[in-house]
Amino acid sequence: MNVVVQDIERADADVVAALGECGVATVHEAQGRTGLLATYLRPIYAGARMAASAITISLPPADNWMVHVAIEQVRPGDALVLAPTSPSDAGYFGDLLAVSMRARGGVGLVSDGGVRDVRDLTEMGFPVWSRAIGAQGTVKETLGSVNVPVVCAGELIEPGDVVVADDDGVCVVRRAEAGEVLEKARARIAKEEETRRRLASGELGLDVYGMRGRLEEKGLEYV
């Protein structure tokens, strides 16, 4: 029942990186306003930014044994996605694990639980998005699984999915859709540039987006 899936597919590294440059809000919109994890996930420092392939971990509350197991599966460009089987704010991950991640090429962590040693992680520039910051120690007693589908902060994440994260939160992109989403995200950015220019010059969104007719139709009254 407890498994470690060893050979997972990942999206193209360039596509992953490019999604990261687009940012969470744009990527989320580009894929039809889907994939956003719950807003209670917050970065441990301002300016944290990441795009990575997900190594998923299903594990018990306050037991981080599977994190050690998962790190062996990490390839350069991967991030851990940690989903406790019941809510927990324990400190599943700290600076030693980050050192180990770094040594394997791992780039970050999304934790639907706690994280600790945040000063060290911040100094290392190792980005983490978590439900809580908490130092509560964990045990290594109960198995979980690595690289199985998990629900993390309200979203389904499958191993190898792309996790995009920045100050706005975390968004998941299905592995197979990464290329298509990237295209749409880039199209959106291009279009926004023009909109930004017009808004900056003082034009109103009401006019740029042509909203006045529909507002009137719906019955909005100016008094």
Hey, which residues between 116 and 175 contact a copy of itself (CB under 8 A)? 116-119, 122, 132-137, 139-143, 149, 151, 154-156, 166-169, 171
Q: Does 204 bind a copy of itself (CB under 8 A)?
A: yes
Q: Within positions 172 to 191, which residues make up the interface with a copy of itself, using CB under 8 A? A: none
- b/e burial code for range 33-42 (CB count within 10 A of at least 16 → b): eebbbeeebb
The encoded tokens of residue 187 equal 């199209």
Q: Which stretch binds a copy of itself (CB under 8 A): 14-22, 40-48, 177-185?
A: 40-48
Residue 12 or residue 54: which is nearer to a copy of itself going by CB?
54
Alpha helix (H) ranges present in 32-157? 65-71, 95-104, 118-124
Window 10-29: residues binding a copy of itself (CB under 8 A): 23-25, 28-29
Instruction: Select from 9-17, 179-187, 196-204 the region that touches a copy of itself (CB under 8 A).
Output: 196-204
Q: How far apart are CA 54 and CA 17, in angstroms?
A: 13
174, 176, 178, 183 alpha-carbon torsion, rounded to 10°: -130
d(CA 221, CA 113): 48
**Among 16, 97, 110, 182, which residue sits at the site for a copy of itself (rule: CB under 8 A)?**
97
Query: Which of positions 64-93 make contact with a copy of itself (CB under 8 A)?
Result: 65, 68-69, 71-72, 85-91
Shortest reach from residue 28's CB to a copy of itself, in Å: 5
Question: Which of residues 12 and 180 has its CB atom nearest to a copy of itself in the complex?
Answer: 180
In sequence order, what are the residues at sequence separation of 6 or more whose Cβ sits closer than 8 angstroms to the Cβ of residue 134?
89, 90, 91, 114, 115, 116
Q: Note the Cα 68 to chain centre separation in Å.
A: 21
